[in-house]
Amino acid sequence: MKEMKQLYSRRAYLLKKICSTKSFLRGSYVVLARPCTNPNCQKCKEGTKHPTPYHSISKNGKTQLTYVPKNGQQELKQMVENYKKLSAWIEELSDINLQLLLQKSRRRKA
């Protein structure tokens, strides 16, 4: 088991990283082939359709799709990536908190 000092130090580091990550989004970036409104569109007639970007998120077992304009796609990808990092940091922080709790309670007993 790691020293408490190390754990506190790692916890402070993770908290700092979490607090500085302001832009994040749960879900994923997906591209779906969608038909357009032009009745004479060759791509749609051939069935290839149009690649259309969405933010996809599962809520209460239902998938919710939100169209994201081209100018927002890069930021969307970054936000989704940030959410994954945050989740991993929070998971690690949670483990650290358990270790700290155990070490503190053992010390109290002694």
Q: Is residue 36 close enough to count as binding Zn ion by CB under 5 A?
A: yes
Q: Is residue 44 close enough to count as binding Zn ion by CB under 5 A?
A: yes
Looking at the DSSP assignment, which residues form a beta bridge with residue 31? 53
Residue in 41, 57, 86, 100 binding Zn ion, rule: CB under 5 A: 41
Q: Is residue 88 close enough to count as binding Zn ion by CB under 5 A?
A: no
* Minimum gap (Å) between residue 33 Cβ and Zn ion: 10
12 closest CA partner among 31, 52, 4: 4
* Minimum gap (Å) between residue 57 Cβ and Zn ion: 26
User: What is d(CA 88, CA 15) in angstroms, rounded to the nearest whole number?
Assistant: 12
Looking at the DSSP assignment, which residues form a beta bridge with residue 51? 33
Q: Is residue 101 close enough to count as binding Zn ion by CB under 5 A?
A: no
27 closest CA partner among 91, 69, 79: 79
Can you give the binding site for Zn ion, defined by CB under 5 A?
36, 41, 43-44
